[in-house]
Amino acid sequence: MLRLTSRFIILIRENTMLRLICSGLLSLIATLAVAATPKLDPSIDYHSQANPHEVLTTHLTLDLSVSFKKQELSGSVIFDFERKADKVSELVLDTRDLTIVAASARVDGKWQKTGFKLEAPHTALGAALRVALPAKADQIKVQYRTSPKASGLQWLTPEQTAGKKLPFLFTQAQAIHARSFIPLQDTPQVRTTYDAILRTPKNLRAVMSAENTPNADKTGEYRFHMPQAIPSYLIALAVGDLEFKAMGARTGVYAEASILDAAVAEFADTEAMLEITEKVYGPYSWGRYDLLILPPSFPFGGMENPRLSFITPTVIAGDKSLVSLIAHELAHSWSGNTVTNATWRDLWLNEGHTTYLTYRIMELIYGQKRFNMESVLGYQDLQGDIAELPAPYQLLAIDLRDKDPDDGFSNVPYEKGALLLTEIETKIGRAAFDAYLKQYFADFAFSSLSTEAWLAYVDTHLVAKHPEQLSMQRLEQWIYQAGIPEGAPAPKSNAFSDIDQVRTQWLSGSLKSSDIKAAGWTVHEWLYFLNNLPAQLTEAQMLDLDTQFKLTGTGNNEIAHSWLLIAINNNYQPAYSRLENYLIQIGRRKLITPLYKALVATPSGKVFAQRVYTSARPGYHPLAQGTMDAIVNP
């Protein structure tokens, strides 16, 4: 079959007419495939089975007990709601791996049992819960408990925490994992306020994405109130041996005692970031802005849960070199939390705007040089993903029907989205674009919108005002076509030009490593130097860099990631002990996924990866486990 296929390919190449016929057939097949796919309706959230168009939940009242022994949350949720259609007979909620104990309806001020049905689970979406809705009911209560395998919960043993004495629990709801610990309308189209009671062991503290009480006594019962309506993926809780320390009037850190002071020192500029963002883009709408430092198994860099961003400890570098992550999560307070994507197809509206704001905040706090360097590194990350991702995943408005929305997370919605906004800024000027963004955040405050709604708004508020600089055709090219559009702005950094020269000279042998003046290099310069080395280096070159700069032993997790990736690609064995410890101790997907992918590319590397993963897997979050399972043990 292979020989016949090869001969056919050669025949096509040599025969112009046959080549044209085959090209036409391929185009026809592609056209038929597109035609066979039902047209996407941007108003529909294809990742929810709920019925908010008929019954819209507006407030949740949670009462949950936390059992580390059973690894479960148990209790109830009460729904306030609005009827959006006549003669509605049921409230449909999203669930995943939940045990539903009972359902009740409040009629004329009294609770009475009501019927419910848990449908067969959908592979990606979970099971729809249908609760009978009496005609005069004004509230619905669902009693339930979670499963130890809930995709949105991670239960950590004391050994997996910084303090090594007490257990830890945290949630991760984005994109559709809230349904694994609360039955609800799990779609960003629905925004709800909430109240909650969490009942915990008395030696632990509970916090939520709500109004927290810093330094509250550890009583075993904690009450929370979230007055602003938020989408379900921003509901979050954590329970652990947590202490609090303020950084400013509105900012502070919750963390285990052993890392609290280091976190406060690292993120001391958070209050300044908050103040300067308000000056440019309008008031901060959420009261306090605190940080929760999680154990290293947290699968993301950060999660923008309102009032309380969840942060990985891997960005505590000791020199504030990785605090762009804090700027990013803070920026979500405007783009994402206040103005939210309507569906996961529109994720770029959250992440593209937030990444653009991140760069702007970093420039305002730390200056143009750092802004330029971080922009170049982000652009290179985007180029790397564009080179690897299939064309449909390179679109900003990505079609994720029948797929897990987690599959849509890459550098595309972040960096391509930010680059689109940078192009608009470049064409109309920064002052005009800042004014537009401030108005945009105000006009859509506490609402969710689709890509098409964004385009309509831009058409009115930008294109119509700047017809010579902007066009809808160009904007639609950015959103609906793969790749980076020709003529897109490419970030540049003079500092990196010097690094290019140093790298070239070292590779040619005209510059010794001992003569490289790297003592003053920033993390960004080191990353640029390492990430742009040739794929293959000699053993002598690897040893030279490692001996001179102690890269295998670096305490910066981002630099370590880049160096360990180079070590894998060059089978540099002196780094493999550090690599094993790194993979076991860190669960952040951004850092470990490329390492596992590189390892399994060779037979010996795959054996190493499988051995290490056996030890590392129990400490990973379920989201990281799913990703690594597919890589290491497909």
pLDDT in tens, 368-423: 999 999 999 999 999 999 999 999 999 999 999 989 999 889 999 999 999 999 99
623 has pLDDT over 90: no
Residue 215 pLDDT level (bands cut at 50, 70, 90): confident
Order of strands, edge to edge, in the sheet holding 90-95?
90-95, 127-132, 116-118
Long-range contacts: 574-582, Cβ < 8 Å, 24+?
A: 574/543, 574/546, 575/546, 575/551, 576/608, 578/552, 578/553, 579/612, 580/608, 580/612, 582/557
Q: Which of 356, 414, 528, 596 is catalytic?
A: 414
The interaxial angle of helices 557-569 and 523-531, nearest 10 deg, is: 10
20-34 pLDDT, tens digit per residue, is 444 444 344 434 444
Please, what is the average pLDDT of the chain? 93
CA distance 212 to 210: 6
Of 34-38, 293-297, 454-458, 579-583, give the lowest mean pLDDT range.
Answer: 34-38
Using DSSP, how many helices (H) and how many strands (E) does the chain show? 20, 21
The answer for residues whose C-beta is within 8 angstroms of residue 196's C-beta and 6 or more apart is 60, 61, 62, 63, 64, 208, 210, 223, 224, 237
* pLDDT (0 to 100) of residue 216: 86
Sign of CA dihedral 323, 329, 334, 336: positive
Among residues 223, 233, 276, which one has the least CA distance to residue 251? 276
List pLDDT tens digits, range 14-69: 444 444 444 444 344 434 444 456 789 999 999 999 999 999 999 999 999 999 99
pLDDT at 335: 97
Catalytic residue list contains 425: no
201, 318, 319, 428, 573 from 555: Cα distances, Å: 35, 9, 11, 43, 19
In the prediction, which pLDDT does 32 show?
A: 46
Tokens of 439: 């108005």
Active site residue 243: no
The active-site residue, picked from 90, 329, 423, 525, is 329
For tokens 């529909």, the residue is: 44
Tokens representing residue 201 in the block: 């062991």
What span, in angstroms and rounded, lies between the C-alpha atoms of 394 and 341? 18
pLDDT digits (tens, 9 = 90+) for 358-370: 999 999 999 999 9
